[in-house]
Structure 1
């Protein structure tokens, strides 16, 4: 089947395009009518950039900050750098201009998928596409198409004071945003993801029982495929059947922003009130 949907894929902190491509391998094989374009972040993460934590595996990354051990496939990258308090995002304007230049030269793209820091970056790109001119590195011309969907896995809203991203939000309702949350995610908690859910006027939430990673079991692969195809065909994201409709998937509950109090936590179904099983070892 010929591909006719193009998806820009933005990896997480300390990952790179190669790592993220492998992690989405099963999803890509299932979504046969979509082409995933993995953009390499412009910033290389050095050991000195993250003195508070050298455990890159925590970020679902098998890269290394040991320069003598690095290859292009194991070099950790980022869309911005920050200290542990997350108040200042360094070099993010560089990444914004970089992504804009890439999209002008290599677009158009129908949608965006991002993981963790990449999910946050995807939300900023969506805001810039919907409201161009917010950043000097993202000029209003040439006009770029507003994405038909954004998939934010383990995402969060930017928390920086410098730059101030308040004008970017909320992301308007014409941009549907799917938020995928791991119930046992200790890197980006559900509360932190809630900051991004509340910052989008057209949100949908799906849960999995695992931690900080993109779920890829069969039910999730087929759900992602259905979601991408349906939204690109103009269907309402909340009309797409939930993950559980595609087979056993663990915890899966579609929740729209309008169904959840702002800043609140959605009430899980009855089966979620029982203790969740331990996530599988990866």
Structure 2
């Protein structure tokens, strides 16, 4: 039993739009050591170089990447299938992974993964995703974003795997992140006062995260 509680869940971390794995690593590094020491975090760069200006230019160094491309009103997507194949290939070669953490665009992808996996349209060659950590997320196929074809049914059934959702009071994606909760059976939520970012945690939010980690450590 001792071993079971000490297990470090291995987590694939997916960064935001036109940023990088290295940038997300810096943002996640703001979380307390009491959180970080319990997790085995692996940061992946998206497959495509940024197709335009990055919002983090001047704050974080390039290179910047994006997971897929879409038109301005998010009704048409390109390279979404290639993105999923790339992620699955990485998981096969570097896994197994227990769960997925996503921020922003990476969180949109992460949130859709268990549903797409259950449907058998992707991630068929890797173990079932056991949990999600969604930071500043939104739903593909929600109010702002149409769903790419492969993700069309990702939310047709409630998602049962444990999920932790960070929702920022001043985040422009707050309404979408809140709406996303309806797709999960028993979502755990950390509300914070910041915007579209990874917040520093203390007090009650930190307790919430530590108890979520305790829960996922027990998943066989």
Q: What is the TM-score when the length of structure 1 is the normalising length?
A: 0.66
| RMSD of aligned residue pairs (Cα, Å) | 2.6
- Return closer, same or farther for 1:15/1:133 CA change in 2, 3 Å cut-off: same
Aligned to 1:101: 89
Whole-Å Cα distance in 2 between the matches of residues 162 and 128 of structure 1?
11
Q: Is contact 2:116-2:153 (8 Å) kept?
A: no
Residue in 1 that maps onto 2:217: 232
**Which has the larger Rg?**
1
Which residue of structure 2 aligns with residue 42 of structure 1?
A: 47
Residues 42-95 of structure 1: CA deviation (Å, up to 9, x unaligned) = 111122xxxxxx4604xx9935xxxxxxxxx51121111122201112211111
Three-state SS of the structure 2 residue aligned to 1:211 is coil
- The alpha carbon displacement at 1:174 in A equals 3.0
Q: 5 Å matches for 1:72-83?
A: 73-83=61-71
- Give the conservation status (yes or no) of the 8 Å contact 2:166–2:192: yes
Normalised by the length of structure 2, the TM-score is 0.83
**Distance in structure 2 (CA, Å) of the matches to 1:61 and 1:194:** 30
User: 1:88 touches 1:163 (CA, 8 Å); kept in 2?
Assistant: no
Q: Provide the residue aligned with 1:244 in structure 2.
A: none
Can you give the 5+ residue segments of structure 1 that lack an aligned partner in the other structure? 48-53, 64-72, 235-282
Query: Does the residue aligned with 1:102 lie in a helix, a strand or coil?
Result: helix
Q: Deviations over 1:21-50 (max 9, x none)?
A: 011113373331211000111111122xxx
The residue number in structure 1 matching 2:3 is none
CA contact (8 A) 1:30 1:222 kept: no
3-state SS of paired residue (2:189)? strand
SS of equivalent residue, structure 2 residue 78: coil
Structure 2: stretches of 5+ with no match in the other structure:
1-5
Which SS does the other structure have where 2:92 is aligned?
helix
- What is aligned with 1:182? 168
Report how far residue 99 of structure 1 moved. Answer: 0.6
| Greater relative contact order structure (CA < 8 Å, 6+ sep) | 2
Cα distance in structure 2, aligned partners of 1:75 and 1:28:
27
